[in-house]
Chain A
Amino acid sequence: MVGEISDAIIRVRDITVQFGKTRVLDGLNLDVKRGEILGFVGPSGAGKSVLTRTIIGLVPKLSGRIEVFGVDLDAASASERRGVERRWGILFQQGALFSSLTVRQNIQFPVREYLNVSQRLLDEIMVAKLGMVGLRPEVADRYPSELSGGMIKRVALARALALDPELVFLDEPTSGLDPIGAGDFDELVRTLQRTLGLTVFMVTHDLDSLYTACDRIAVLGNGKIIAAGSIADMQASQHPWLRQYFHGKRARAVMG
């Protein structure tokens, strides 16, 4: 199981989440190391998004403890919590861009709220962030409804990165992208992690992402982490779901 890691940026202990009578997460433990890209996989409906949303505080938990940056989120005061929230960025599955704001306003929104800087710097940082996610400055004055799916993901990532967070949560970042776009996105996450020293928590279904982008993989099943480790550990695992996942038809195609 998951060993104790000293420099964990996220520490999840004995989390239980229940919706009505269905127990989605059942005494789950997870550590995310500083500076790593953790890929988080599991069958559809296993609760990957629920865990992400529980960590960021959108889903209430029945019991357990969550520490992010060493701060216990249940015990934290409102200002401590805001401090933590400033240090993480979240990319939602559908992008969750504000539909009534332009790309520029979307990216500048968190910066404007938290920092008192000039419009000039806001614009320059916005262009820099757009460049980092591989978009041209011309898209800045478009509205989200005028963007393609891949562009929405990129703008959402730029917004998640707007305040230079130390930790980003990516919820299925490559779903709905074409394979080339998805490959670019993996490469992008890797580059950003190197340049900005990010820690990335990535929920994904994309085997390519696991192979090319992730340092470590955690697998969710029956409400618990059933395995965590490198891609080699995953392939060596005897767990039936993992065997199917990493040795199935699609996996063989990816590994060539």
Chain B
Amino acid sequence: MVSGDPTLERIARGNGLALCAAGSWTARFAPVLERMVADAEKLSGTRPNISIDVSQVSKLDTFGAWLIERLRRSLTHGGIEAQIAGLSANYSSLVDEVRRVKAEPIVETDRLTISGMLEQIGRAVAGIGGTLIGLIDMLGAVLTAAAHVLIRPRRFRLTSTIHHLEQVCWRAVPIVVLITFLIGCIISQQGIFHFRKFGADIFVVDMLGVLVLREIGVLLVAIMVAGRSGSAYTAELGSMKMREEIDALRTMGFDPIEVLILPRMLALVLALPILAFLGAMAALYGGGLVAWLYGGVEPEAFLLRLRDAISIDHFVVGLIKAPVMAAVIGIVACVEGLAVQGSAESLGQHTTSSVVKGIFFVIVMDGVFAIFFASIGM
């Protein structure tokens, strides 16, 4: 039999029994072999003398050798060791190798249990405090680094800042403008559709102006930036952390906050107001276009109404919010990036939570700002 299906025959020999293995005892047949060996293991103790004859085995690898060894161990009974007979010289070293394997399998520890899940929830809740402290820590570290740079302006990394500004601002312009343009169109269309019932078509301009300049414009752009640039920052810093690049920087006497994080933060803080402004303009343009084509509001009437409806305050409110939101996104992204551990999974988790937390804090900030501006009457 040449490398055919493996077999394990039982042949009586005197008062003993010989188990004759034949065929190909290799990984390919492992499932079959395992079943055969499990069956044969039941013979343990039934006869005084059981031996395993492997002379007919045509091919043997670690799987086959281990299963034969496992069979030998379970047949060893009452102090009488089962013997392996007919082992060819080619395979003896392999069998010797597996003979050294310690049998007891190691049990995997972490199983999914209800108490385990509850524990995770508890830890996550307790972790919220830690997250806030982490964010304040990072804010402090960035401000300290900024102060150092202010004292010694030569340490400021202009090239790096410009590079990041290109990444987060210039390259984001097309997508931000496109999305805000479409949002403007939708707001305008919906407004006209519903206001028309009251004959109040023209008030769509008021709604569009206030919403876009004060709330939606900056909020939407901030969410887009959190998804686009916050995630990129976390992934960049995280993979640098994984490859010990950040440790390397530190050992060379550089402050990673100053070298890596300050330029990124600054770029983001500059970029978001610019993007929010462009986004607001695109949304107004889109809204005006729809108002004209769909609602029949002439561009001149639209502009006139817009001038009456909104004051400079609305615009200022939007622009004041933008850099603060940028700072929040940047700090969350950098904290998450530096928290990445050694594995690819951890990088993915932290990138996800960077975006989720970034968007969450942006919305919370927006709420805080709404209360603040309402109470100062802006």
The complex places the Cα of A185 from the Cα of B94 at a distance, in Å, of 18
Contact status A125-B62, CB under 8 Å: yes
Contact flag A99-B344 (CB < 8 Å), given A118-B34, A128-B62:
yes
**Main DSSP-derived SS at the B contact region:** helix
Residues of A within 8 A of B63 (CB): 121, 125, 164
Q: Which residue of B lies closest to A147 (CB)?
A: B342
Contact of B341 among A120, A145, A197 (CB under 8 A): A145
Within 8 A of A (CB), among B141-166: none
B77-98 vs A, CB cutoff 8 Å, 1 = contact: the mask equals 0000000000000100110011
**Are the C-beta atoms of A137 and B102 separated by less than 8 Å?**
yes
Contacts of B27 in A (CB 8 A): 111, 114-115, 163-164
Pair A164/B26 contact, Cβ less than 8 Å: yes
Q: How large is the interface on A (under 10, 10 to 19, 20 to 34, 35 or more residues)?
A: 35 or more
Residues of B within 8 A of A197 (CB): 90
Distance between B353 CB and nearest chain A CB, rounded to angstroms: 16
User: Using Cβ atoms and an 8 Å threshold, which residues of chain B touch A144?
Assistant: 342-343
Q: Is the CB of A143 within 8 A of B97?
A: no
A195 x B97 contact (CB < 8 A): yes
Q: In angstroms, how far is the closest chain A Cβ from the Cβ of B8?
A: 16
Is A239 in contact with chain B by the CB < 8 A criterion?
Answer: no
> Do B343 and A100 touch (CB < 8 A)?
yes
On whether the beta carbons of A124 and B105 are closer than 8 Å, the reply is: yes
Query: Are B106 and A121 closer than 8 Å at their CB atoms?
Result: no
How far does the Cβ of B23 sit from chain A's closest Cβ, in whole Å? 16
Chain A residue numbers with a CB within 8 Å of B108 are 104, 141
Contact A117 B343 (CB under 8 A): no
Task: Report yes or no: B106 in contact with A141, Cβ–Cβ below 8 A.
Answer: yes
Evaluate contact between A115 and B31: CB separation under 8 angstroms: yes
B344-375 vs A, CB cutoff 8 Å, 1 = contact: the mask equals 11100000000000000000000000000000
Q: With CB as the reference atom, state the residue of chain B lying closest to A117.
A: B30
Q: What are 12 A-B contacts defined by CB distance under 8 Å? A: A104-B108, A111-B27, A115-B28, A117-B30, A117-B34, A118-B34, A127-B101, A127-B105, A128-B101, A131-B101, A195-B97, A196-B62
Q: A interface vs B, CB < 8 Å?
A: 98-100, 104, 111, 114-118, 120-121, 123-125, 127-129, 131-132, 137, 140-141, 143-146, 161, 163-164, 191, 194-197
List the 9 closest A-B pairs by CB distance, nearest first.
Answer: A145-B342, A100-B345, A99-B343, A164-B61, A123-B105, A100-B343, A195-B93, A195-B94, A128-B101
Residues of B within 8 A of A (CB): 26-28, 30-31, 34, 61-63, 66-67, 70, 90, 93-94, 97-98, 100-103, 105-106, 108-109, 341-346
